[in-house]
Amino acid sequence: MEQQSSLIILRGLPGSGKSTLAAVLSENGKYPVTSIDSYFVNAETGEYFFDHTKNYLAYKRCEEQTTAHARAQTEKILVDNAFTLEWELEPYFRIAAEYGYRIFVVTVERRHNGKNVHNVSEEQLKKMAEKYKVFLM
């Protein structure tokens, strides 16, 4: 029986450990991880600098990279983003359907008292959490 390729979406609030889990699941880079955050990382210094005016470009690039990996029939693709709103998931559901991927949505909880490296305030985290919906059925 041939195993179907998987698109694994890791979602959660900043500081929950999505990027750390993505690194583990990628098996030391064997499988690609696409992320909106990567758009804001300086390739030379590794520093993160978020610019909300370019967020739409980051979303677009993440979708394009995910599509390219799916088109290449990469066995496992990981997507690491907050995905606090349902509409943010929709493009990835379409990509999975178009290229025949099983899709998994994994919610990563902030149970380890992780600090978000993006300087998102506690107030903003609370607002994000209020909008966050988990679908169990």
pLDDT (tens place) for every residue of the chain, 137 residues total: 457 899 999 999 888 889 899 999 999 899 999 999 899 989 899 888 888 899 999 999 999 999 999 999 999 999 999 898 889 999 999 999 999 999 999 999 877 676 676 677 788 888 888 888 887 76
88 torsion bin: left (phi>0), alpha (psi -120 to 50), beta (else): alpha
- 73: phi then psi, degrees, rounded to nearest 5: 60, 40
Contact 79, 85 (CB under 8 A): no
Helix (H, G, I), strand (E, B) or coil at 34: strand
Give the C-alpha distances (Å, rounded to integers) separating 82 from 2, 33, 74, 109, 128: 32, 14, 23, 11, 9
C-alpha gyration radius of the chain = 15
Burial class of residue 136, CB neighbours in 10 A (0-12, 13-18, 19+): exposed
Both tokens of residue 94? Answer: 């379409």
Q: Which CATH number is associated with domain 6-131?
A: 3.40.50.300
Helix (H, G, I), strand (E, B) or coil at 59: helix
Is the full-model pTM beyond 0.85?
yes
